[in-house]
Structure 1
């Protein structure tokens, strides 16, 4: 089995516990205004790789990442656009004794089979906004599939880290944040909420691709705003930073 991938990296960060082998797949159905990886939007821009080739690369780091308490994260793009390819890599990583994480917007959550999710130790779920109209303007997609996926993950008992990108003027509305916090507090599987301040480190990619960066003039959030949003999540009993 083969798929389209953009790249891979070995890093320590918010892609799951410990040192991770992070595979970036190609192709995404959303067009988030703040996207830092526009070079992963189109499947055609990736390169073909078989599951065996990906696993051979992971094997080079397996001893190291296990010793470091890490594992493998499949990101994108949107990995569920290639759910069969993604599922097979997760299955083989799980069989190799590696911690597995799936980084997804949840927009294509219906494509994730129960078997795929059984091989997933952690889902990094990126919820862009809790305001339906704002979500549509921000991503070009619909919010409902992500919320349905979040509820399904709770029912299946799959641990979730929520990623919430804080963009001034877009995702900082107090009522929307509070609504999302209340929704998440009603789930029993949310381990952590990562409030990620908007940044412009990917702006150069837009220049290289010859496309405009929609939020070029949008400021990064100040520390007081980040603190306020984190405290809103914590007020609902969620662990957030």
Structure 2
């Protein structure tokens, strides 16, 4: 199933900034924005303003937003406009104990834009900030960007390298390297793991992710996310067959069993 979504179908990666200064967060920039929303759930604590950026180097088989894969399908938007929109909700967000999240797609595909949004959300709007990322492009996150990030929502889609490649079309190692870098910085992390029966649910795979996350020392929460098919209509709209349409969604028992593995490694798993 994965072969149709790898190789030439993978979006090319733009060149990273030439120097760390190129990713400075103190100048006005623009980027490709897919959409924004007010969210309560797995986008970080409380009610949050979530900016969904366009473009992603991964092509996950279970992706529920394949319309975010190509950067050019987003709308060129200035950081000023995003901050002005988020600013309308700061009092409401503050009451809920929430904040702002830069998501995607993959926000680190646009590190300058992402860096400015996080900086201004934190310092101009006074909001708790979160970066939602696969970690595949973690090397593009400058130290300045991470200083402006209070929480990283890190998707670890598989421990087994072959399974990770099958799920995403990319190698897992950059994500693991980024996770270790965040641990070295003492940056708070929420790990997300999507449980897909017949794909990511092998006991050794779950154990591998749990042991790795439990050994980092900076993971305060793990979200075990059940595979779902809510994005299937978007795949059809893009004239792509949904690759996992024949797989079942996980049962409550399967989800609880996976949570127990993470909890056994001293992690708070929900």
Q: CA deviation at 1:14?
A: 1.2
Name structure 1 gaps, 5 residues minimum. Answer: none
What corresponds to 1:177 in structure 2? Answer: 206
What corresponds to 2:225 in structure 1? Answer: 196
Within 2, Cα distance between the matches of 1:222 and 1:36? 19
TM-score, structure 1 normalization: 0.99
What corresponds to 2:38 in structure 1? Answer: 10
Query: Please, which moves more after superposition, 113-122 or 174-183?
Result: 174-183
Name structure 2 gaps, 5 residues minimum. Answer: 1-28
What corresponds to 2:162 in structure 1? Answer: 133
What corresponds to 2:57 in structure 1? Answer: 29
Q: How many pairs does the alignment contain?
A: 241
Deviating beyond 4 angstroms after TM superposition, the runs of 4 or more aligned structure 1 residues are: none
Q: Secondary structure of 1:29's match?
A: coil
Q: CA deviation at 1:179?
A: 1.4
What corresponds to 2:83 in structure 1? Answer: 55
**Is the aligned partner of 1:64 residue 2:123?**
no
Within 1, Cα distance between the matches of 2:251 and 2:95? 37
Q: Secondary structure of 1:186's match?
A: helix
CA RMSD of aligned residues (A): 0.7
| 1:117-136 deviation line (CA, Å, top 9, x unaligned) | 00000000000000001100
Match of 1:208 among 237, 251, 260: 237
| 1:185-217 deviation line (CA, Å, top 9, x unaligned) | 111100011000000011111111111110011
Within 2, Cα distance between the matches of 1:64 and 1:18? 10
TM-score, structure 2 normalization: 0.88
